[in-house]
């Protein structure tokens, strides 16, 4: 049997808590969408942990977790979150997998996110977190972004350089660094 939890609101609706309760009945917990712009706080065994990318099932030692291809993930954010989990005794090695099709949020997406928000006229700002989520999803939809599996290809650095050059052109258009 599969159980799917879908959030239909734009804010904190308690999905993390519900997933934590449902995890007892699951073998695998999958994060299938979203980015590291928000997160949820989980208190387990008296310890407070903030999870932004890693599925909360990781707090249950016998569970496996997957970051799916609908997620936009900054690899640096993920590494920081894994380090934080491991420093509190939560092991991720052999228990967590990332789809090769997971879209990456690169540092240039953050720069673009902030520049685009700054360029919007007063009253038309969207209130972005500036973490690059919107531009990464735009790159995903436009089929121009980088996916985790791209890191395994010989031409990965060439692809990154191409993206950086294109983003720098757009940042100049926006009069940003």
Q: What are residue 31's phi and psi, to 5 degrees?
A: -95, 120
Instruction: Say what the pTM is.
Output: 0.87
Q: To which H or E segment does residue 29 belong?
A: strand 28-31
Average pLDDT along the chain, 177 residues, taken 10 residues at a time = 71 69 86 80 77 90 94 95 92 96 97 96 92 95 96 97 96 94
Q: Which residues pair with 31 in a beta bridge?
A: 67
What are 56's two structure tokens?
Answer: 């909360």
40 in active site: yes
Residue of 20, 24, 27, 40 with catalytic role? 40
| Cβ atoms < 10 Å from Cβ of 110 | 19
């Amino acid at each position: 049997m599969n159980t799917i939890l879908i959030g239909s609101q734009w804010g904190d609706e308690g999905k993390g808590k519900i997933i934590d309760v449902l995890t007892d009945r699951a073998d695998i917990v999958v994060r299938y969408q979203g980015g590291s712009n928000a997160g949820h706080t989980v208190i387990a065994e008296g310890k407070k942990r903030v999870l932004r990318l890693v599925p909360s099932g990781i707090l249950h030692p016998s569970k496996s977790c997957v970051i799916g291809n609908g997620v936009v993930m900054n690899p640096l954010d993920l590494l920081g979150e894994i380090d934080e989990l491991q420093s509190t005794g939560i092991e991720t090695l052999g228990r967590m997998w990332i789809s090769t099709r997971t879209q990456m949020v690169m540092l240039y997406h953050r720069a673009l996110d902030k520049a685009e928000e700054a360029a919007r006229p007063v009253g038309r700002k969207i209130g972005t977190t500036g973490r690059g989520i919107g531009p990464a999803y735009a790159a995903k939809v436009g089929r121009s972004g980088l996916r985790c599996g791209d890191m395994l290809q010989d031409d990965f650095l060439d692809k990154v350089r191409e993206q950086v050059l294109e983003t720098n052109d757009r940042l100049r258009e926006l009069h940003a660094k």
